């Protein structure tokens, strides 16, 4: 009887030992080490797109401490319909059906163990006008990567925001001035960038009324949508004639770049308001020295002001940087 009792105790001990050893092993492992990929975030998310339009999605990997780490290669896919995506680049083409496609964009690491998702809303976007800017409307400068001021004087009479980047240079005591709020990689800046993306898509979806075939300097144009397949230039004065309508809207689209010459002017007449003027730029915009610019620039990558530029409007860049490349630049909301 004693022998049987002893064997039972030993058996229970042998069962407990592996369990204790397993707990000890788990404790020794601890949390993931720095630099180890633990999450993937897909942006923009969510996004509203017009039917049959395109959108580039971006995946960012982070470790357990929130530090960005490499996440290449990424495999992209669509899991809840809404359109098609390039599996290697993340370029998405929306379908023709209007609906909300929750968590339809999927980006996974090479092993498929970690994935991020984004929601796509396919819908007919609102008409062009100031309200399309949403929360981006309070920003004189909004950038995706960085904002730079080469040196004083330089004044932004509005908010300045950057998202997802956070680098700002040349502003502060004795330097260039920001009279509004400064939002660097904050929730308000991220929200403004989402609204800017919506505005970018709204402007891109407007049916073209007039094709731009030459430099717009020295011309007068009426309200409407003007489209240049590649670059659009303004040398001298471009006059926007609102024909007595204070709500007259102008959309000037440059497929690649927008460039103004030295001392160029965007002149507004007969009721035209700068808040209703939009320059949509497929890549980068450069305002020449001494330019008097009235209107909003909505660019995919970068915007550069080359010195003594007076801007009544906004410099809004989705992915890249905004640079006040020389002194004497001023941006004031319309």
Residue ranges of domains in the chain: 39-122, 130-332
Tens of pLDDT, residue by residue over 187-198, are 999 999 999 999
Q: Which residues pair with 160 in a beta bridge?
A: 141, 182
Tens digit of each residue's pLDDT (9 = 90 or more) over 198-207? 999 989 988 8
CA dihedral 202, 137, 190, 132 (to 10 degrees): -20
Q: In the CATH scheme, what is the code of domain 39-122? A: 2.60.40.10
Do the beta carbons of residue 171 and residue 155 sit within 8 Å? no
Token pair for residue 29? 């492992």
pLDDT in tens, 30-55: 666 888 999 999 988 888 777 887 78
CA 172 to chain centre: 25
Residue closest to 260 by CA, chosen among 283, 231, 298, 299: 231
pLDDT band at 8 (very low <50, low <70, confident <90, very high): very low
- Strand, coil or helix: what is 205? helix
Indicate the average pLDDT of the chain: 88
Residue 100 has pLDDT above 70, yes or no: yes
Work out the average pLDDT over 312-316: 98
Residue 172: which of 184, 188, 185 has the closest Cα?
A: 184
Q: Residue 243: pLDDT above 50?
A: yes
pLDDT at position 29: 55
With bands split at pLDDT 50, 70 and 90, how would you rate the model's confidence at 20? very low
Measured CA to CA, the distance from residue 137 to residue 127 in angstroms comes to: 16
- Give the pairing of strands 139-143 and 75-78: unpaired
Q: What is the pLDDT of residue 54?
A: 78
Nearest to 234 by CA among 279, 269, 270: 279
Written as six digits, the tokens of 157 are 């009479």
**Hunting for tokens 């991220």 — which residue is that?**
190
Give the predicted TM-score (pTM) of the model: 0.68
How far is Cα of residue 224 from the mean position of the Cα atoms in its chain?
25
Write out the two tokens for 135: 């929360």
* Averaged pLDDT for residues 273-291: 97
What distance in Å separates the CA atoms of residue 140 and residue 154, rounded to the nearest whole number? 13
Q: How confident is the model at residue 4 (pLDDT cuts 50, 70, 90)?
A: very low
């Amino acid at each position: 009887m004693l022998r049987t009792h002893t064997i039972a105790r030993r058996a229970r001990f042998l069962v407990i030992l592996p369990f204790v050893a397993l707990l000890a092993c788990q404790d020794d492992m601890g949390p993931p080490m720095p630099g180890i990929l633990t999450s993937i975030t897909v942006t923009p998310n969510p996004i509203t797109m017009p039917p049959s339009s395109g959108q580039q999605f971006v995946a960012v990997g982070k470790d357990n401490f929130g530090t960005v780490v490499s996440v290449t290669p990424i495999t992209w896919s669509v899991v809840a319909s809404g359109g098609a995506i390039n599996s290697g680049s993340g370029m998405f083409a929306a379908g023709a059906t209007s609906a909300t496609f929750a968590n339809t964009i999927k980006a996974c690491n090479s092993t498929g163990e970690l994935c991020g998702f984004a929601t796509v809303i396919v819908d007919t976007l609102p008409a062009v006008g100031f309200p399309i800017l949403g929360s981006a409307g309070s920003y004189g400068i909004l950038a995706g990567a960085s904002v730079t001021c080469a040196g004083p004087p330089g004044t932004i009479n509005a908010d300045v925001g950057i998202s997802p980047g956070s680098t700002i240079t040349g502003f502060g005591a004795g330097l260039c001035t920001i009279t509004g709020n400064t939002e660097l990689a904050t929730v308000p800046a991220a929200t403004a960038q989402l609204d800017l993306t919506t505005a970018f898509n709204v402007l891109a979806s407007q049916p073209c009324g007039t094709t731009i075939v030459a430099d717009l300097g020295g011309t007068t144009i009426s309200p409407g949508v003007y489209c240049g397949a590649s670059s659009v230039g303004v040398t001298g004065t471009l006059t926007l004639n609102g024909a007595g309508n204070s709500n007259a809207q102008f959309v000037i689209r440059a497929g690649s770049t927008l460039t103004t010459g030295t001392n160029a002017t965007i002149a507004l007449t007969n009721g035209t308001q700068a808040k209703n003027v939009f320059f949509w730029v497929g890549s980068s915009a450069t305002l020449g020295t001494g330019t008097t610019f009235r209107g909003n620039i909505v660019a995919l990558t970068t915007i550069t002001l080359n010195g003594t530029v007076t801007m009544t409007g906004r410099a809004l860049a989705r992915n890249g940087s905004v640079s006040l490349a020389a002194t004497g630049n001023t941006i004031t909301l319309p």
